[in-house]
Amino acid sequence: MKAILLNISAWMLLPFMDGLAKFLSQEIHFLQVVWGRYFFMALFSILIASLFFRKHLRFPKGIKIQVLRSLFLFLSTIFFFYAISVISLAEALTLAFISPIIATILSFVILKERVGPRRWIAVIMGFIGVLFVIRPGFNEVNMATVGAVCAGVCYAFYIISTRKLSSIDSPLMTLIFTGLSGAIVISLIVPFYWSYLNFNGWLILISLAAIGTLAHFLLILSLNYAEASKLAPLSYSEIIMNVIIGYYFFGDFPNQWIWIGLIIIIASGVYISLREKKNKNQFKI
């Protein structure tokens, strides 16, 4: 029960970070928002680890995978923050939910895991759900929708690389390395897009990073009480707060095509998660 509460709390917090990022993207370049998210995330993560988890502050063993993992999450953040600066939070998140579906394909290609026919059907259904949202030929496919899909694809690579790291480095060290490496890269890029920020702007930037760090910290804590495969379906609860924030603050409410696509994508993702969990249990036996 504790794992579920911690996990859902994290997914309920993340849309607030996205909402603040979308709001701030109307005033400054979205890459400046990405910088704030990573710079202050690294700062907060190191501070928390230094105060409470000092023994975990060791140089990562799987450095190559850590670099790749950080790159994938960094690219996913850039694509997603760009997407929400243009389209609604709900539409961007729905398209990004393709990540577990892409991860299934990558697990077959890269990790050589066995994927049965039922999961392949779920993968196909997931792509059909994406088509309902984008509706090519009926809607003009813009760069923001492409960016949201790319965010999901990059996040899928992030999921695969995280699986590789699970038995090598501690989750907290992985979180610190992710924030730190992302902060270094974006700090080299952001000067070309920098614009003046007033006090309120800085406050929002720091707040969104603090919310994101807290959410990821809660996710890490939840994994101490339950396996990742059992908690994976709970990530879709994020859409609830996402829709509320999008409607209340930005006047965006998903149309019927987004709802249909969302239901199909979530059903496919949950089914894939449940099948993976069942297969792991059978393997243990």
135 with 284: CB under 8 angstroms?
no
Please enumerate in sequence order all residues whose Cβ is within 8 A of that of 49, keeping only pairs 6 or more positions apart, or say none. Answer: 56, 57, 172, 173, 176
Q: Measure CA 275 to chain center.
A: 22
Count CA atoms within 13 Å of residue 275 on its CB side: 20
Nearest by Cα to 25 from 165, 113, 144, 189 = 144
Question: Please, is 204 exposed, middle or buried when counting C-beta atoms within 10 Å of its C-beta (0-12, 13-18, 19+)?
Answer: buried
Calculate the alpha carbon distances from 137 to 27, 35, 70, 131, 150 in Å: 32, 36, 35, 10, 20
Write down the mean pLDDT value for the chain.
83
Which residue stretches of the chain have pLDDT < 50? 283-285
Calculate the alpha carbon distances from 223 to 65, 177, 217, 226 in Å: 20, 18, 10, 5
34 with 260: CB under 8 angstroms?
no
143-165 and 99-109 helices cross at what angle (nearest 10)? 50
pLDDT of residue 281: 55
277 with 230: CB under 8 angstroms?
yes
Nearest by Cα to 166 from 232, 220, 241 = 220
pLDDT of residue 284: 43
Count Cβ neighbours within 10 Å for each residue of 94-129 and write b for 16 or more, e otherwise: bbbbbbbbbbbbbbeeeeeeebeeebeebbebbeeb
pLDDT of residue 121: 85
- Give the other-Cβ count within 10 Å of 53's Cβ: 15
DSSP state of 61: S
